[in-house]
Amino acid sequence: MDSEQQAVPLIMRVQQRFPQWVIASHQYRGQETVLIHREGFLEMAQFLRDDPGMAFDFLMDTSCVDYLKFGKIQSSSPTLTTPSPLPYYMKPKPLTQTWTRLVSNDEYRFDVVYHFYSSIHNHRLRVKVPLRAAESNIPSVSGLWATANWFEREIWDMFGIRFTGHPNLKRILMYEGFEGHPLRKDYPVRKRQPLIGPVN
């Protein structure tokens, strides 16, 4: 890999390679993030791992976010829009950076987030895949990175995202017979499970 290729940001290279799949991309203090459609994700993951300029040999983390109630809850605790009252001797911090999601929360309920690292080039890339609530499934990458196997099981357990092609998509933290996916924002706070009861 030559130095001029090094200079091109990763998100630009991904954008050039998959213009039809990339929704958006941004960069913040050297952290590069790319949003991509689910349909092109597997192809892009293959590219990220096998392309010598990318060579992402390590899937650091996989997680999920549920945006169902994001920014819609009236809370007594401080939120992004309603800060807690500050004592008289403190000045409020100026909000220099505001964060936007780049896709609609109403249309895309979930984000599945991947963090990749290349131990060869020492660079990192964050990939977000927005998913609709009605079709909350995504191709599994456990065939590309073995570590994805348990990450994806955890996301299935907690958020109910289906990973198509996963060899063993079972619950990993909760037990068989658990009802619902507890980290979804519409999981009732006071729900009781049939194993323990009383069911409410």
Partner 1 sequence: MSSFGADLSSLNWMATRLDAALGWARKFSIFQYPFVTACCGMEYMATATSHYDMDRFGAGFPRFSPRQADVLFVVGTVSHKIAPVLKRVYDQMTEPKWVVAFGVCTCTGGFYDNYATVRGIDTIIPVDIYIPGCPPRPENVLDGLIKLQEKIAQGARVTVPQGSSARPADFETPHTPETHL
Residues in touch with partner 1 (CB under 8 A): 73-77, 174-175, 178, 182, 187, 189-193, 195-198
Q: Which is nearer to partner 1, 58 or 178 (CB)?
A: 178
- Minimum CB–partner distance for residue 195 and partner 1 (Å): 6
- Minimum CB–partner distance for residue 190 and partner 1 (Å): 7
Q: How far is CA 185 from the centre of its chain?
A: 15
Q: Measured between alpha carbons, how far is 128 from 115 in angstroms, rounded to an integer? A: 9
Q: Which is nearer to partner 1, 93 or 190 (CB)?
A: 190
- Minimum CB–partner distance for residue 127 and partner 1 (Å): 29
Q: Which is nearer to partner 1, 132 or 191 (CB)?
A: 191
Q: Which is nearer to partner 1, 18 or 187 (CB)?
A: 187
CB 99 within 8 A of CB 192: no
- Minimum CB–partner distance for residue 74 and partner 1 (Å): 8
- Cβ count within 10 A of residue 93: 8
